[in-house]
Amino acid sequence: MAEQEEYKEKFAPIYHSNEQVHRYDALIAAEDWEGNILECLRRVVQIPESAVVVDMGAGTGRLSVLLHPICSQLYLYDIAEEMLQVAERKLAAGKGNAPYEAHVADNRTIPRPDSSADLVIEGWSFGHMGVEDALQAVREMERVSRGHCVILETKTTASRVPLPPSPTLAKLYDRLEGEMGYASCDIRTDYRFKSRQEAEQLVSFFFGAEMAKQALDILRPDFVLPECTGVWWKKVG
C-alpha cells in the first residue's frame, strides 16, 4: 500500500529515532495554541472524573497530556516505543495524578479487554494506514470502548479551508460518517511558532520543503500558521 510505503520511507525514521522524535514533539508543541481540541472534546463527549481513557496511536502524548488531568486511568498505545518514551516523560512532569501505562501496540490489535474504557481516542495516526486498515482500527476502538470513541485527523495544514488532504483520507472520512455512523465537526488547531525561522525549520522537517514554502506565504506576523482538524465521535456503550 502507498500509505505503508510512505510510512516506512518518510515517517518511520522520525517516529523510531530518539533525536527525530524530539524535533517532531517540538512541532506538535506549537499546535492548537488556542486550546480548541480540549474544548471540542468536552463539548461532544462526557468525560467524567472516573473515566478510563485509552489513547490509540498516542505518539508523544499530544492528546494524553490533555486528558491525563481529567481522567482516573490512562492507557497509551503506539507502534513506536521512542514516541511513547517521550509521552511518558511529559506525563510524569505534567499536571495529572491518574495512573497511566504505555505499551507498544498496533492500532488494529490493542491489548485491552472488551468494553474496558469510557473513552477511546485516536489522533493523526490513521493517515499512515490504508482505508480498510484504518476501519479495522476503528472497529478495535469500538470493541474496547464502553462509552465514546473519538477520532481526530488532519483536514489540511497551512490552509484555512478544511478539506481531506488526500483521496485515501477523503474515502476514510466518508465511510466514517456513512457506514460507521460517526458525527463530525471541524476545528482550527493552528500552530504558533516562536519565530519565522522556527516555523520554516519545523514545517520543512516534517511536511517537506514545498509545504514549508506554502506555510511561510500564509504565516501571520505573530507566527501563527492555520491548520484544520476533523473530529469524529460516536457513542458505542
Whether residue 2 has pLDDT greater than 80: no
- Distance between CA 178 and CA 23 in Å, rounded? 37
Question: What is the structure's pLDDT at 112?
Answer: 98
Whether residue 220 has pLDDT greater than 90: yes
Give just the sign of the alpha carbon dihedral 154, 157, 163, 166. negative
Q: Which residue, chain included where needed, has cell 470502548?
A: 145
Dump pLDDT digits (tens) for 8-67: 688 989 999 999 999 999 999 999 999 999 999 999 998 999 999 999 999 999 999 999
Cell readout for 56 is 490509540
Regarding predicted confidence, which is higher, 115 or 9? 115
Percent of the chain with pLDDT over 70: 98
Q: Which amino acid is at 179?
A: E
Give just the sign of the alpha carbon dihedral 94, 96, 97, 101. negative
Report whether 151 contacts 140 (CB < 8 A): no
Dump pLDDT digits (tens) for 64-111: 999 999 999 999 999 999 999 999 999 999 999 999 999 999 999 999
> What is the average pLDDT across 180-208?
98
Distance spanning both ends of the chain, measured CA to CA: 33
Q: What is the pTM of this model?
A: 0.96
Q: Rounded to 5 degrees, what are φ and ψ at 180? A: -90, -15
Report whether 129 contacts 56 (CB < 8 A): no
Dump pLDDT digits (tens) for 182-195: 999 999 999 999 99
